[in-house]
Amino acid sequence: MAQPMFDAFQVIADPSRRKMLALLYNDSMTISSLAENFDMSRPAVSKHIKILQSAGFISIKDVGRERYCTLKQEGFNEVREWMNYFDKFWAAKLKNLEALLNNNARN
């Protein structure tokens, strides 16, 4: 069965998933320890984690009876590429503005 494709922006649009990613910023966490930070059912937390995993934002590793979630770079690539595109766009616009202002200052 093929895994569903997720748009990175739809994945991070949910505030709970963004909070999960933020909680994983410093270190891996068990699913149980992540769930303690949310006022939702364990199945709801598991659903969010599954979406984050399917979209490539996190990986899950079984250690004994615990399942540890860790951030992965893969999921962030689409967001990074989109932001880089607009960084270049604005850098070019600002460079053109600077050239225009320098030209006007000389005249």
Delineate the domains of the chain, giving CATH numbers in brackets. Answer: 8-76 (1.10.10.10)
pLDDT in tens, 50-101: 999 999 999 999 999 999 999 999 999 999 999 999 999 999 999 989 988 8
The C-alpha R_g of the chain, in whole angstroms, comes to 20
Question: C-alpha angle 6/13/40, rounded to 5°?
Answer: 100
Collapse the DSSP code of 75 into the 3-class scheme (helix H, G, I; strand E, B; otherwise coil) and give the result. helix
Residue 14 sits at φ, ψ, to 5 deg, of -80, 125
Q: Determine the pLDDT at residue 4.
A: 54
